[in-house]
A and B are shown apart, each in its own frame.
Chain A
Amino acid sequence: MIDAATITIAIASGKGGTGKTTLSTNMAAFIAEREAVVLADLDVEEPNSGLFFRAEPVHQEVNYKAIPQWDESKCTLCGICTKACNYHAVIRLGPSIVVFPELCHSCYACSELCPEAALPMVQKKTGILSEFRTGNLHFIESRLDIGEEQAVPAIAKTKKYAAEKHPKVRLTLYDSPPGTSCPVIEAVRDADLVILVTEPTPFGLHDLKLAVETVKVFGIPFGVVINRYGTGNKEVDEYCHQEQIPVLARIPDSRRIAELYSAGKLIYREIPEIREILEEILNKAITITKGGRK
């Protein structure tokens, strides 16, 4: 069915709550019924794809970042470090230099510019990466510790782990964080295809346009899935038609789907129509990725 070497599909959306996680989890479980698939939850601030599977944990490791650690015995309180830090993560409080790990971007400037080598870089835990397995489905997530703001390194690490651990699995899905800021860019930048999930409302259209602009910057092929179809209006359809953006599928609006989601259930197992839709998305997605980057 899938004949390309390996394909990575990022599932993204301009705003939260459009059904990104619903699509990622259902697609992954659906594909896993016939072949191996990797699902990586890259919404590291709030990963909740895992709520939809009963999977066995197979691996866990700590995610780290480098931060400076003050060595009082070497420090002369010259203040170079506090001026070198653009993020105010290293400040001087009276006779002490205090480091705020969550604010640190790991740029190394304070550490390497310190004339006394009094701020060596050390590893600091930022969260946990976990891998789970259920049948053919390999599910990987990273969860940032509360207060930790550096999502991008955790996303990069999770992608790297997925690729290195499962080089032979042909299909990898990314559940991306919402929005158009740095974390999203890190999540989609090296995907073969981006699926943008939206709703047929003015909100959906507005956020879709922003997401399309973002994806176009990287020249990644993309398609749209319109969720909750039947409610709202036709503007998203018209926009996709005008811009020649392929609409991969339209998932109908239904209270039943909302109920299944609220209970953490996979919808395609309860609603047969969704199976066909997932099959359609997958086939179209694979056809598009054959075209490659523009």
Chain B
Amino acid sequence: MKEIVVVSGKGGTGKTSVTASFSYLGGASVITADCDVDAADMHLLLKPDFEYSEDFYSGEISSIDQSACIRCGKCAEVCRFDAITVKDGVYRIDPLRCEGCGYCSRVCPAEAIVNKERLAGKWHISNIRTGGKMVHARLGIGADNSGKLVARVKNEARELALEERADYVIVDGSPGVGCPVVSSLSGANFVILVTEPTVSGLHDLKRVYELVKKFHIKAGCIINKADINPEQHQAILNFLAEEDIPHLTDLPYDGQFTQAITTGKTVAESGSVRLKELLSACWEKVKKLTI
């Protein structure tokens, strides 16, 4: 079983469409993991049945047991996040401001502050219409996307792949270059970098590739909307050559891309003939490179 992670550094490059396409092309041989939990959209294309769901807890959150509170105010004094407010002598913790550092509970003389695990969202295992299975999650409002949730989703996907004897786990990675991306990349056999030829595209590609390099994972690159800016396109090709990153494919700027999403289909099944061919050839290439 091999793990392939798709990342992009910034949003809107078509990362999710590409991942869903490979999920479709791989069919039952693939377990799909949506680790882009901030904007988890892949379920819209793959139609999961939410066969199994579980609450997900991450970090801690403090709350005050009012019956034990002696209203000394020590907690509010030490809190650096202005999360503890006092009104008519009653101290309360604002859950959206609490960082879960636990300092207040350590100084409370009445032991009136309890730290509980913070309910951050839910994660699910689903059967999807490609014949494969999918692990996905949804964060609650204001919950921080953490490396922990990403690790959990990936882990469940990996176990599922072993059980189902799937050949691949395909991961829609988190955006940015922070902790969740690091967690998305961890344990991967191959990384697909999706970029676009814009002023910020190359910059973001370089930043995320720095991380990939650090983890010694082999990578290949897909340039989406490849024909909108020849100059930027060439700049990306130069970067790939310098770093010896295989250029997996160009995908044209094509209204069919959006059209496929709109009908709830992946680009690989309902895009134009050209897009379908490019994606199938790319998937074969990815499989060859993932060893």
Contacts and interface: CB of A to CB of B under 8 A. Distances in A.
**In the complex, A touching B (Cβ < 8 A):** yes
A182 B96 CA distance: 8
B41 A105 contact: no
A217 B97 CA distance: 13
Interface string A39-76: 00000011010010000000000000000000000000
Given A180-B38, A259-B229, A146 B103 contact: no
A157 to B, nearest CB: 14
Contacts of B225: 258, 262
Interface string B187-216: 000000000111111011001001000000
A231 B253 CA distance: 13
B80 A261 contact: no
Contact of A108 (B12, B44, B78, B204): B78
A213 B142 CA distance: 11
A126 interface: no
Contact of B38 (A15, A46, A231): A15
Nearest to B199: A264
Q: Which of B11, B44, B261 has most A Cβ within 10 Å?
A: B11
Contacts of B258: 199, 201, 228, 231-232, 253
Q: Interface residue tally of chain A, by bracket?
A: 35 or more
Contacts of B179: 149
A261 B198 contact: yes
B106 interface: yes
A136 interface: no
- By secondary structure, the A interface counts as loop
A146 B207 contact: yes
Contacts of B197: 262
Contacts of B255: 231, 253
Contacts of A179: 38-39, 145
B176 A46 contact: yes
Contacts of A210: 141
Nearest to A148: B178
Interface of B: 9-13, 16, 38-39, 41, 44, 59-60, 78, 80-81, 96, 99-103, 106-107, 139, 141-145, 175-179, 196-201, 203-204, 207, 210, 225, 228-229, 231-232, 253, 255, 258-259, 261-262, 264
**7 smallest A-B Cβ distances: which pairs?**
A17-B12, A16-B11, A107-B101, A15-B39, A109-B103, A264-B199, A262-B229
Interface of A: 14-18, 45-46, 48, 51, 84, 86-87, 105-109, 112-113, 146, 149, 178-182, 185, 199, 201-203, 206-207, 210, 213-214, 217, 228, 231-233, 253, 255, 258-259, 261-264
17 contacts: A16-B10, A17-B12, A45-B176, A45-B178, A48-B199, A48-B200, A51-B199, A86-B100, A107-B99, A108-B78, A109-B102, A113-B106, A181-B38, A202-B44, A217-B96, A232-B258, A255-B228
